[in-house]
Amino acid sequence: MYVKDFKWEKGMTVKKMVDDMANLGYQSVQLAKASEVIVKMKKNSAKTYLTFTSNMVSCGLRGFFAQVVKLKVADILVTTVGGIEEDIMKSLGEKFTIGSFSADDVELHEKGVNRVGNVFIKNESYMKFENWINPVLTKLYEKQKRWTPSELLREIGLILDDEDSILYQAAKQEVPIFCPAITDGSFGFHLYLFQQKHRDFVIDVVADFGNILFTSSYDEKKAVIALGGSISKHHAILSTLLNGGASYAVYMTTAHKTSGSMSGATTNEAKSWGKVKDESDVATVHGDVTITFPLAMIRALEIFEEEGLLPFGGKVDE
Amino acid sequence: MYVKDFKWEKGMTVKKMVDDMANLGYQSVQLAKASEVIVKMKKNSAKTYLTFTSNMVSCGLRGFFAQVVKLKVADILVTTVGGIEEDIMKSLGEKFTIGSFSADDVELHEKGVNRVGNVFIKNESYMKFENWINPVLTKLYEKQKRWTPSELLREIGLILDDEDSILYQAAKQEVPIFCPAITDGSFGFHLYLFQQKHRDFVIDVVADFGNILFTSSYDEKKAVIALGGSISKHHAILSTLLNGGASYAVYMTTAHKTSGSMSGATTNEAKSWGKVKDESDVATVHGDVTITFPLAMIRALEIFEEEGLLPFGGKVDE
Amino acid sequence: MYVKDFKWEKGMTVKKMVDDMANLGYQSVQLAKASEVIVKMKKNSAKTYLTFTSNMVSCGLRGFFAQVVKLKVADILVTTVGGIEEDIMKSLGEKFTIGSFSADDVELHEKGVNRVGNVFIKNESYMKFENWINPVLTKLYEKQKRWTPSELLREIGLILDDEDSILYQAAKQEVPIFCPAITDGSFGFHLYLFQQKHRDFVIDVVADFGNILFTSSYDEKKAVIALGGSISKHHAILSTLLNGGASYAVYMTTAHKTSGSMSGATTNEAKSWGKVKDESDVATVHGDVTITFPLAMIRALEIFEEEGLLPFGGKVDE
Amino acid sequence: MYVKDFKWEKGMTVKKMVDDMANLGYQSVQLAKASEVIVKMKKNSAKTYLTFTSNMVSCGLRGFFAQVVKLKVADILVTTVGGIEEDIMKSLGEKFTIGSFSADDVELHEKGVNRVGNVFIKNESYMKFENWINPVLTKLYEKQKRWTPSELLREIGLILDDEDSILYQAAKQEVPIFCPAITDGSFGFHLYLFQQKHRDFVIDVVADFGNILFTSSYDEKKAVIALGGSISKHHAILSTLLNGGASYAVYMTTAHKTSGSMSGATTNEAKSWGKVKDESDVATVHGDVTITFPLAMIRALEIFEEEGLLPFGGKVDE
């Protein structure tokens, strides 16, 4: 493929831009390729695991993730608990603010503000979450004593009535959300306090390992879109591997492979799973996910839309 | 502090080198400062939380972590489950190999080799782990049906008889190991298979939230040494925060704050916890932990040794 | 400013997307801000210095840079010599290929191919450049013996007749190109061989320092758009500083400030120049320039187009 | 090579630590390898090109570079002009300060302080340089009108009488310093002002291209140690390439190959030069050079010292 001089055209669409990036070097071509891998995985009916970290929900990709779930582009979600808390907060009407990476942290603390990069979350938002989650836990406990994280999150999603909520859309579209470290956040603290009062209340993370395993079969085509690293990425890869490996993989990250971290691991490894047919089925894009993911996914959505594929599998609800 | 021209001296020790790095710019001075913060936290009897990710165990820092635990420099550990699996594998005599970051992954796969950066782990090592863990789970299940991860890991540590094992040293020194995502690995799969046969077997992650909370009190001084990011770092920060915040913090990472990730979050935020007295109580070092952590910690250990402080708190065992 | 959930709309334009990124955290908001700073600098008639490194020309941003010059959005260019060589090669009809970052370098060498990241350049292209540049040098030498790099590059640009050439558009629009390290490339070798035959042939880099100084005055508003780092970025900042400092600055880079490098230096420093009015006049975007620069610049171009501002200052030629 | 658990030993030397890092994964093993490549290049009498960027001089590696030159471990230097200015300033008694990466730049500006990462340089230091360089230029101009950068820097080095000065040691040991962008700094401004008064004063960068070419021959073994990126790295690689390519290469950088920049280019490319015998002759280390270079070089120096090899080639002067 030849390098082709990139040029602006008046009224340029995101799709046209990403199309043209296929002929631009470095991470541009990687991004265009990632978009194409997403198109391939869906057209080939691969079960698609989308993983992301909490900070991506806080920053405003929440609505986009919810949209992607609504359109059935993602079939299974894996994430960390902070994003779940923040998804709920926003459904409860809380707002986050965009500030500066170099804000005065002592001053923020005095104002009761928590900083996630350049995104600010007020203590009040956490309190609102707390007030809301406790009666929900009581109600769910009345139903059963032992919950897996994915079942718990589904029930919560059904309660929320918010088009832009990831949990709501996931529950509605029967897209399970896995959260292997569900106690690693404010939610964990509330689960703990609840358990103090109800000793037979149990979160069964072990059973959820089975649940994620059974989201796909060995023979089924599988695909992983991993945004950032952490256990979300690791958990999706692990569970597809135990079912024979994914056929398609897109990793988007700011980390590099040189440190040996999961965050920086590239899709090259995916080739070792034995299912990837060729180089064109995987793509790693280095860069901030708030920029790279919308670009790659929007081009894919435009193509799906043009071809009348949205929502995939037809509407489940309504 | 003035920049002072760095010079080599014959037979230079690590301690002398890190001392001199205090007058070298960029990450050198940060590393020297991190070492000094470690000295301060221990001399001021702060409860010290050491967090690390799995890949750091695989690469060979395992023995150093075990040593640091044995010398009671770390009081609480937080980590991900991969490192626990690999700690056990090595105690069972398995060996890992150092290869190349750009090894042919398809070829490795055919040979039954898994790659973590430039570290290779054979499938056989996972099988050896599997064969060993199953009877252990049976035995523990006979004792009780409901285990928190930290209790489970303590029991496993007591069985291992290996000076270089993190689990063994932690169990011996009564240093708890927290692992909020204990199912995110091969261990999770074995726990799942075991639970299939024993439906009343439960891993109680919620109760462990209480356990980590009670490792320190509000009034006690607390310190966090976070190597890499992930939920290990987040969980330690969260639990010290709920007890009023740490007084000392050292973060070592290859990530940058610009992506808003936990991995890249700097110790500047620690100042917002209201307990850090001044700038000299926190340090963030950017760089590969396999290089930066030994340098900073060895200088601290040499100082502790000179002053007859090792092991901290006197020997627990023997 | 509140975080606003990002959403895809059918047929979404780049402008709409970048507009929406202003409400997305991390590097998205930085990118939207960078776009806005570009709009401000041009509407406030600031002399605009655009700097980029050679690899950005090779990868296909060449045509976009040429377009930006043609539209008079950039008033002064600063770059390294590799990009100049490659601009000429492409004007001579040579093509570069997009390959893989992990191509087999020994094999490429045997095929006479040079690798710049994932962009490949054939030896033949260098030979074509060599054959073309030598008669040009002879002709220019007949005109005068002592040339500054900027004068030399202007003459070369006038000879090239290629809409997509940076040198051609720059010469046509009277946009000077500064290249303080003009010998650091294949071009340097040919200059050297030429000088061996013509001892009185001189490239006067010292005089070009004066030329760049006089591209703007102390009282005039100045702006710097620095893509990547290297001496290109440093040289533009230095020369605006000697004239009192820029009023606007946009830096786009993959480097981080933690290493103390010029590449990683952020626009925060620009505030120390005493001319920047407030925080909204500067923006640093971390990420691959092949992705971030087109996004930010296209939004600006769309706004300029809507408001009938293109080309700035009216057409010089035609 | 097996991973071996790293352990601290009382009084551990840098050499012992780097030896042990050969059995630690990720960048540790790369660093140990880099040290070994340095040992090999010198024992095999390769002409050794050491390149570094200005910021490394400012931060305090200056004295170490001077020491390395004094011991004849480096045979040719390539750098940018900022480092030369700062080497002179320090020889004139100026001191730089270590501050913070997040210092208030507006405040620093008001105090007349310039920031390079976390290293601060006062305006006075630049003025002292200015006052000193002008009479030197006058004196050199009386000798001849046309100077290459390397000849000019040699003359300046001979004037400085400072053991810790890079320029002084280089001049004394007949180690040439190449600086292809000699005008890109305060020095450039003074050269320009001087030329305004002496129109026939010329800095001949083209002739210096010949000078660096003739520092080694095609048949001679060549080695490159590139610290950071920029034109320093590029220029050394280019000139060894034109002589058939280096046999050994060590690159130390914080940049990554994913952006296609020179700074991030790895030594893998060196294998394409056709002279590298095998994988063990090249090493790329990712990390801050203020940490990685002293570690790798000190181990090499200890080995050279033990074997009575220092200074290489015997003493030139004294």
Are D32 and D316 a contacting pair, CB within 8 Å?
Answer: no
- What is the average pLDDT across A136-152? 97
Q: What is the pLDDT of residues C85-121, one digit of tens each?
A: 999 999 999 999 999 888 888 888 888 888 888 999 9
From D293, D202, B254, A248, select the one nearest C199 (Cα to Cα).
Answer: D202
Q: What is the pLDDT of residues C250-275, one digit of tens each?
A: 999 998 888 888 778 888 877 777 77
Are B186 and B131 a contacting pair, CB within 8 Å?
Answer: no
Note the pLDDT of residue D255: 87
First to last CA, chain A: 45
Right CATH for D41-94+122-288 from 3.40.640.10, 3.40.50.9100, 3.40.910.10, 3.90.700.10: 3.40.910.10
d(CA A113, nearest CA chain B) in Å: 9
The full set of domain ranges for chain B reads 45-96+126-295
- Go through chain D and tell me how many residues it has: 318
Note the pLDDT of residue C315: 60
Partners of B283 in the β-ladder: B250
CB–CB contact B286 C26 (8 Å): no
Q: Confidence band (pLDDT; 50, 70, 90) for D269?
A: confident
Q: CA–CA separation, A89 vs D72, rounded Å? A: 64
A250 has pLDDT over 80 = yes
Mutating which of C121, C291, C295, C310 best tests the A interface, going by the most A Cβ atoms within 10 A? C291
**Nearest residue in C to B256, CA atom:** C256
From D77, D203, D213, D79, select the one nearest D149 (Cα to Cα).
Answer: D203
The identity of residue C15, as a single letter, is K
d(CA D201, nearest CA chain C) in Å: 9
From D263, D246, D238, D183, select the one nearest D40 (Cα to Cα).
Answer: D246
**Nearest residue in A to D259, CA atom:** A26
How far CA A2 is from CA of A17, A24, B43, B183, in Å, comes to 17, 9, 62, 46
Q: Confidence band (pLDDT; 50, 70, 90) for D318?
A: very low
DSSP secondary structure string, C252-264? EES--GGG--TTT
- Structure tokens given for D279: 């994988």
How far CA B9 is from CA of B18, C259, D13, D74, D162, in Å, comes to 13, 25, 11, 18, 18
What residue ranges of chain C have pLDDT lower than 50?
318
Specify the DSSP class assigned to residue C13: B
Of the candidates C26, C102, C258, the beta carbon closest to that of B259 is on C26
Helices within C160-228 (DSSP H only): 166-172, 186-197, 205-213
- Structure tokens given for B30: 């940060």
Q: CA–CA separation, C141 vs C151, rounded Å? A: 12
Specify the DSSP class assigned to residue D177: E
Q: CA–CA separation, B204 vs D79, rounded Å? A: 59
Q: CA–CA separation, B201 vs B196, rounded Å? A: 9
Specify the DSSP class assigned to residue D259: G
Specify the DSSP class assigned to residue C58: I
**Nearest residue in A to C285, CA atom:** A288
Q: Which residues of C touch A60 (CB under 8 A)?
A: 3-6, 23-25, 28
State the average pLDDT for chain B. 94
Q: Which residues of B touch C27 (CB under 8 A)?
A: 258-259
- C32 phi and psi, to 5 degrees? -60, -40
Which stretches of chain B sit within 8 Å of chain C by CB?
A: 25-27, 102, 256, 258-260, 286
How far CA A174 is from CA of A154, A160, A167, B101, in Å, comes to 8, 15, 10, 39
CB–CB contact B302 D11 (8 Å): yes
Of the candidates A3, A290, A294, the beta carbon closest to that of C26 is on A290
CB–CB contact D271 C105 (8 Å): yes
| % pLDDT > 90, chain A | 82
User: Is residue B305 exposed (0-12), middle (13-18) or buried (19+ Cβ within 10 Å)?
Assistant: middle
Note the pLDDT of residue B214: 96
- Structure tokens given for A52: 């992301």
**Cis peptide preceding A176, ω within 30 of 0:** no
Q: CA–CA separation, B41 vs B225, rounded Å? A: 10
Helix and strand numbers (H, E) in chain B are: 13, 11
d(CA A10, nearest CA chain C) in Å: 7
CB–CB contact D258 A27 (8 Å): yes
Q: CA–CA separation, A59 vs A55, rounded Å? A: 6
Q: Confidence band (pLDDT; 50, 70, 90) for B315?
A: low
Q: A72 Cβ partners below 8 Å, 6+ apart?
A: A173, A175, A310, A311, A312, A313, A316
d(CA D188, nearest CA chain C) in Å: 7
- Structure tokens given for A143: 């139903």
The 3-state DSSP class for residue C313 equals coil
The identity of residue B15, as a single letter, is K
**Nearest residue in D to C258, CA atom:** D117
CB–CB contact C291 A28 (8 Å): yes
CB–CB contact B98 D23 (8 Å): yes
- What is the average pLDDT across A170-182? 97
Of the candidates D28, D292, D294, the beta carbon closest to that of B6 is on D294
CB–CB contact A273 B201 (8 Å): no
Specify the DSSP class assigned to residue C161: -
Question: Which residue is listed with tokens 């940018």?
Answer: D80
Q: What is the CA radius of gyration of chain C?
A: 20
The identity of residue A14, as a single letter, is V
User: Is residue B111 exposed (0-12), middle (13-18) or buried (19+ Cβ within 10 Å)?
Assistant: exposed
DSSP secondary structure string, D85-142? HHHHHHHTT---EE--TT--HHHHHHTTEEEETTEEEEHHHHHHHHHHHHHHHHHHHH
Note the pLDDT of residue B318: 46
- What is the average pLDDT across A70-94? 97
- Structure tokens given for B25: 């710019």
Q: Which residues of D touch A286 (CB under 8 A)?
A: 256, 258-259
Note the pLDDT of residue D315: 61
Note the pLDDT of residue B180: 96
Note the pLDDT of residue A315: 61
CB–CB contact C25 B260 (8 Å): yes
- Residue C257 a catalytic site member: no
Are B248 and B75 a contacting pair, CB within 8 Å?
Answer: no
CB–CB contact B258 C286 (8 Å): yes
Mutating which of D30, D258, D268, D288 best tests the A interface, going by the most A Cβ atoms within 10 A? D258
Q: Which residues of D touch A102 (CB under 8 A)?
A: 102
Q: Which of D233, D275, D277, D315 is catalytic?
A: D275
- Structure tokens given for C233: 């970025």
d(CA B228, nearest CA chain A) in Å: 8
Q: CA–CA separation, B176 vs B153, rounded Å? A: 8
Q: Using CB atoms, list chains with 3+ pairs below 8 Å to chain A.
A: B, C, D
Note the pLDDT of residue A318: 46
- Structure tokens given for A56: 């991506």
A317 has pLDDT over 70 = no
CB pairs under 8 A between B and D: 197
Are D283 and B118 a contacting pair, CB within 8 Å?
Answer: no
d(CA D100, nearest CA chain A) in Å: 13
Q: What is the CATH number of domain A14-95+122-306?
A: 3.40.910.10
The 3-state DSSP class for residue D167 equals helix
Q: CA–CA separation, A175 vs A66, rounded Å? A: 11
- Structure tokens given for B64: 């150093």
Q: What is the pLDDT of residues A97-125, one digit of tens each?
A: 999 888 888 888 888 888 888 999 999 99
- What is the average pLDDT across B146-170? 97
Are C249 and C224 a contacting pair, CB within 8 Å?
Answer: yes
Partners of D115 in the β-ladder: D120
CB–CB contact A5 C90 (8 Å): yes
The identity of residue D269, as a single letter, is E
State the average pLDDT for chain A. 94
The identity of residue D14, as a single letter, is V
Q: Confidence band (pLDDT; 50, 70, 90) for B268?
A: confident
CB–CB contact C58 D260 (8 Å): yes
- Structure tokens given for C298: 């296209």
D265 has pLDDT over 50 = yes
**What is the CATH topology of the domain spanning B45-96+126-295?**
Deoxyhypusine Synthase (3.40.910)
**Cis peptide preceding A149, ω within 30 of 0:** no
Q: Confidence band (pLDDT; 50, 70, 90) for D150?
A: very high
Q: Which residues of C touch B258 (CB under 8 A)?
A: 26-27, 256, 286
Q: CA–CA separation, D183 vs C235, rounded Å? A: 9
D317 has pLDDT over 70 = no
CA torsion A176-A178-A184-A185 (nearest 10°) is -20
Q: Using CB atoms, list chains with 3+ pairs below 8 Å to chain C.
A: A, B, D
Q: Which of B16, B40, B275, B277 is catalytic?
A: B275
Q: What is the CA radius of gyration of chain A?
A: 20
Q: What is the pLDDT of residues D204-233, one digit of tens each?
A: 999 999 999 999 999 999 999 999 988 999
Strand segments, DSSP code E, in A157-293 are: 177-178, 202-203, 222-227, 248-253, 282-286
Q: CA–CA separation, B119 vs B108, rounded Å? A: 12
d(CA A33, nearest CA chain C) in Å: 12
- Structure tokens given for B62: 């395992």
d(CA D202, nearest CA chain B) in Å: 34
CB–CB contact D58 B3 (8 Å): yes
CB–CB contact C98 A23 (8 Å): yes
Of the candidates B26, B256, B259, the beta carbon closest to that of C260 is on B26
Q: What is the CATH number of domain C44-95+122-293?
A: 3.40.910.10
Q: Which residues of D touch B58 (CB under 8 A)?
A: 3, 25
Note the pLDDT of residue C318: 46
A11 has pLDDT over 70 = yes
Q: CA–CA separation, B303 vs B310, rounded Å? A: 10
Q: CA–CA separation, A295 vs A292, rounded Å? A: 5
